Structure formats: C-alpha cells, structure tokens
Amino acid sequence: MRLTKPTLFTNIPVTCEERDLPGDLFNQLMKDDPSTVKGAETLMLGEMLTLPQNFGNIFLGETFSSYISVHNDSHQVVKDILVKADLQTSSQRLNLSASSAAVAELKQDCCIDDVIHHEVKEIGTHILVCAVSYTTQTGEKMYFRKFFKFQVLKPLDVKTKFYNAESDLSSVTDEVFLEAQIQNITTSPMFMEKVSLEPSIMYNVVELNTVSHTEDSISTFGTRTYLQPMDTRQYLYCLKPKQEFAEKAGVIKGVTVIGKLDIVWKTNLGERGRLQTSQLQRMAPGYGDVRLSLETIPDTVNLEEPFDITCKITNCSSERTMDLVLEMCNTNSIHWCGVSGRQLGKLHPTSSLHLTLTLLSSVQGLQSVSGLRLTDTFLKRTYEYDDIAQVCVVSSKIKEN
C-alpha cells in the first residue's frame, strides 16, 4: 500500500429557501452532518480528513513511500522468511529493503511489516518488485513475487533563457542574466518554497526576485507564493564573473557552465518535492582574437562639440602577440578627431591597453558610434567594430535650458 498524506474531505452542500417545499429540512441535515464545519455548513471543505482511495499520482522529485506487509494465512509456522523489495526503473534496479536479514519464524495470523522510502529521480514506468522466500514445516523452500507497476510524471516544465550584457562598461562587463520560466503542469496547486540558482565556480549570483523596502525584502510574487495548475512564473538572476576569472579575457569564452537551479515545493498537506536541473550552459559571445570594449562614454553630448570616450583593447589569444594599427573611419553622423592609421604597438597574449579617443557628431538624435578598425600587421588581418555604443546628441541650446 502506498503511504500518502490524507486529503481534506469535501461535500456538496444542498440547501433551499425556507419558503420552498422542503422548508428547513436540507439546512437541518447539513447541521447534523458530522463532516461539515459548524456555523459554516454551506462550505464544501469539511473538518475531516479522507484516507487515499487509490494509488494517485507520483511526481519526479517527490518521495515514494510504501507499506509492505507479509501475512501468514496458513495454519502452519513457517521459517527463514526473507522479504526483499526492489524498485525497477528504465535504467537501474534499486534495493529498498531496510534489512537483508531473514526472520526466524512467522506464526499463524502473524505478519512482517516494513516501510520503504525512495526519492524518485526518474520519470516513466517504475515497478516495485516484492519477493518473499520461506521454508515450510516439511523443509520445502518456497518463493513467490508480486509486482506493482506505476508511472512517475513530470511535475514542472522548466525553460531557461540567457541574456548577455553587451554594454561592456566596467561595472557590467561579462554579466549574464538568466530567466527561468517554471510552469506547474500538475492538476493541483503548489507552494513554491524555494527557487534558487547554484552558480558554478566562475560566477557569483544575485537574485532579482525581491523588492527592497527599508530593511525588508518582499518577493515580487507577493506573500503567498502559490503556483496554480498550468500557471507559469518567471525568475530572474544576474551572474557576474568572479574577479580572478574576469581579469582573464580568454576564460569567459565559448561554452560556459553557469550553474543549476534548485527547486523545492510543497503540495496538499505539506508533501515535499525537490528538483535540481542539470548544469545549465550558455554560449558566450565570441570576441574573436581582439576584443574592443568601452570603459567610459557620456550619455548626452552637444551637437558639433568634441567629446571623449575611453576604449579597452584586449588580446584574447593565449599564445600570440599582436602588433596593432588603429584606423578611424567617419560615418554620416560620427566624425573622429585625431590621426587615423597610428601604431598602437605590440599587445601580448591576454593583456590589454586603454585608449582615449575624441569624436563629434554632426547630426542630432540617438547616434551609433561606429567606424573603428584594428589591423594586426603580423597576420595582415583587420577587425571591424561598428555599433559599439549609442550616444544622445542634442543642440547646445537645449542642453543649456
């Protein structure tokens, strides 16, 4: 027999108005019903609990508990009784018996009881195999098995999306935002006890699912974190590389392990479930051999007035030294000030240099900074950088006002 929590008893209230033919009969019957709540007889929920009437559903992440009883229905005393309970899944067979020792004897109308527990970690078909061996009074060895088949269902649908911070300013370099969409695909509400992200060794994580008010933090989902059937909730996390990894340009490249989600929920009368996703991976943006990022840039500048930006140029190669030449190409709105085609010198592997450039805009509005070209004279390879950032260009009169 599967051991599950009971459920609250529900009844269907039947009532009528006093001037109807039954009069007060229905109301009096509900008051006399022991399952109703006194003073609130018309509520469907009662004060009693109902024991499980069937096996019910079991979901991935929950704990499967079962009561096993071996009863001697004969008129004989049997000896050397060994009870074994195995759980067969699609990939493995697990022994759930609490003890592997045989019971010396089992008298008439007596029984051997055992309770087994198992945290379900696979979906699909499961078979509980209960095997009993014993010896009769005549010394004959007997053996029989019983099979109990059940399905393990998926309780949650989890989808993840990664967003890379592309502004490349010093305060947000290499930030990754993770959006986790969690949907309740069961038929009953869930209380979401915990949804957290365990980051990998390269990252620190900040949860963005609370709003700070003075000293307290309030969940963005309110005080009652219930997830109704088929409802979806979105969780957001910000991951930042640890300092020792952020300083190495070549480390945060390619396929990067982010971490895993840890989800804990409760259903019905406190039945607990827990799921951990596999390691989440994202494809980091490819910077090529040379990375150009902006350290500082003003938000708003005056029309036709020069302004400065600070660039950071990084050699992402771990083996090769580069000899770089900087070219600045004007666009329809952006005009660079200075000498184009100047030598930047040699840049060793994983090292960086900072460069201050001056430019002006001849067109108002939101303008894109483009037109930088870096050429590696060793390989005769040119790297183009367009749409590096955007700046708001206004008339000097508007800015003064």
Where are the domains positioned within the chain? 1-54, 60-154, 156-284, 290-394
Q: What is the pLDDT of residue 97?
A: 84
Choosing among 2.60.40.10, 3.40.50.720, 3.40.50.280, 1.10.286.10, the CATH entry for 60-154 is 2.60.40.10
Cα 385–Cα 389–Cα 393 angle in degrees, nearest 5: 125
Q: What is the pLDDT of residue 176?
A: 84
* DSSP H helices in 292-377: none
How far, in Å, are 161, 207, 392 from residue 210 at the CA level? 20, 7, 32
Mapped onto helix, strand or coil, the DSSP state of residue 357 is strand
User: Under CATH, what is the fold of the domain 156-284?
Assistant: Immunoglobulin-like (2.60.40)
Tokens of 332: 């329809």
Q: What is the pLDDT of residue 251?
A: 54
With contact defined as beta carbons under 8 Å apart, do 369 and 287 qualify? no
Q: Is 362 exposed, middle or buried (0-12, 13-18, 19+ CB in 10 A)?
A: middle
The two domains 60-154 and 290-394 share their CATH topology (first three levels equal) = yes
Q: What is the pLDDT of residue 248?
A: 59
With contact defined as beta carbons under 8 Å apart, do 189 and 198 qualify? no
The torsion region of residue 23 among left (phi > 0), alpha (psi -120 to 50) and beta comes to left
CA dihedral 98, 100, 105, 106 (to 10 degrees): 40
Write the CB contacts of 199 (distance below 8 Å, at least 6 apart in sequence). 205, 239, 258, 259
Identify the CATH class of 290-394: mainly beta
Q: What is the pLDDT of residue 263?
A: 94
Place of tokens 């009074």: 137
pTM higher than 0.75, yes or no?
Answer: no
Q: What is the pLDDT of residue 164?
A: 73
Write the CB contacts of 224 (distance below 8 Å, at least 6 apart in sequence). none
In Å, how far from its chain's centre is CA 112?
A: 43
The Cα 354–Cα 133 span in angstroms is: 79
Q: Is the dihedral of CA 115, 121, 123, 125 positive or negative?
A: negative
pLDDT tens series, the chain, 401 aa: 888 877 777 777 777 777 777 777 777 787 777 777 777 777 777 777 877 777 778 899 999 998 899 999 988 899 999 999 999 998 899 998 877 788 888 898 899 888 999 999 999 999 999 999 999 888 899 999 999 998 999 999 999 988 876 544 434 456 788 999 999 999 889 999 999 999 988 888 988 888 876 677 778 887 778 899 999 999 999 988 887 776 555 555 555 788 999 999 998 788 889 999 998 887 666 556 888 888 889 989 999 999 999 998 888 777 888 999 999 999 889 999 988 998 998 988 888 899 999 999 999 999 999 999 999 988 888 888 888 888 999 987 655 55
Q: What is the pLDDT of residue 214?
A: 66
Q: What is the pLDDT of residue 220?
A: 82
